Amino acid sequence: MNSNTLLSARAISLQYDQRQVLQNISLDINERQIVTLIGPNGAGKTSLVKIVLGLARPTAGSIERRKGIRVGYMPQRLHVDQSMPVSVNKFLNLAANARPERIDSALDEVGAGSLKNSQLHSLSGGELQRVLLARALIQDPQLLVLDEPAQGVDVNGQAELYRLIADIRDRHGCGILLVSHDLHLVMSATDEVICLNQHVCCHGHPEQVSNDPAYLELFGKKDAETLAVYTHHHNHSHDLAGEVISSDDADKPSGSGHHH
């Protein structure tokens, strides 16, 4: 393992119920590197995240983490039963290694300082995601694992959230594993993309991947188009069935980018 490598997975496979969930997956996460995992539903993203976090064991392959590594984890979503009264402050206090000054600085960093005494129930989707991110930051993580951080956040908020994530990487120098299917928003803030569908379809720099035939096949040209809209234009696109559709439809911004 390299000296700035935080985590290294080699030839990971996972079988569940005689079904191949993950096949021969290798990935490295280095300091200051944002690795994004994309792939359709059922591609095994969540399973891979669980293995990375040490919550599940692969059937084959090995995973090596830097000794004593501090991991911050932001789960896909938090569902708090209405019957449970919890303030943001209490929620953050439950984190391992929680200290008042750490809680304050984490909240400030994600721009949620004013929410400290709010009840978790009263938060909007975007506010809740920020609070979850703050909870992960309390660990002063060397590795941040963010599972679909922009879920339930509106489009403007999403762009802001991804900027915040890039900022956090710059400030803390941590490595980040990001799971997403908001392709077009994630790409700009990513160093390495891994396109997953049980196996690694393709990987590399965002631009490289977005032109990779395996990637185009997996997501259809239309998603690829939404992503590529920042750099170039096609005069047509494909719908889910692969049919050519007119560029008028294909150019419709966001919303059409989600097939899952």
Applying CB under 8 A, the residues found at the interface with other proteins are: 50, 53-55, 71, 73, 75, 78, 80-81, 83-87, 90-91, 94-96, 119, 121-122, 135, 139
To other proteins, the closest distance from the beta carbon of 224 in angstroms equals: 32
First and final CA of the chain: distance in angstroms?
36
To other proteins, the closest distance from the beta carbon of 82 in angstroms equals: 9
To other proteins, the closest distance from the beta carbon of 74 in angstroms equals: 8
Instruction: Assess contact for 161 and 153: CB atoms under 8 A.
Output: yes
Instruction: Assess contact for 102 and 134: CB atoms under 8 A.
Output: no
Torsion of CA 180, 169, 73, 56, to 10 degrees: 70
Task: Give 25 or 95: the residue with its C-beta nearer to other proteins.
Answer: 95
Task: Give 133 or 209: the residue with its C-beta nearer to other proteins.
Answer: 133
Residue whose C-alpha is closest to residue 52's, from 123, 139, 131, 143? 143
To other proteins, the closest distance from the beta carbon of 189 in angstroms equals: 23
Find where tokens 């030839």 sit.
Answer: 11
Task: Give 71 or 195: the residue with its C-beta nearer to other proteins.
Answer: 71
To other proteins, the closest distance from the beta carbon of 144 in angstroms equals: 12
* DSSP structure class, residue 27: E
Task: Give 3 or 97: the residue with its C-beta nearer to other proteins.
Answer: 97
- CA-to-CA distance for 228 and 247, rounded, in angstroms? 13
Task: Give 84 or 241: the residue with its C-beta nearer to other proteins.
Answer: 84
To other proteins, the closest distance from the beta carbon of 59 in angstroms equals: 17
Name the helix (H) or strand (E) containing 96. Answer: none
Amino acid at site 170: D
Task: Give 50 or 234: the residue with its C-beta nearer to other proteins.
Answer: 50
Torsion of CA 52, 162, 204, 137, to 10 degrees: -30
Tokens encoding 244: 């050519």
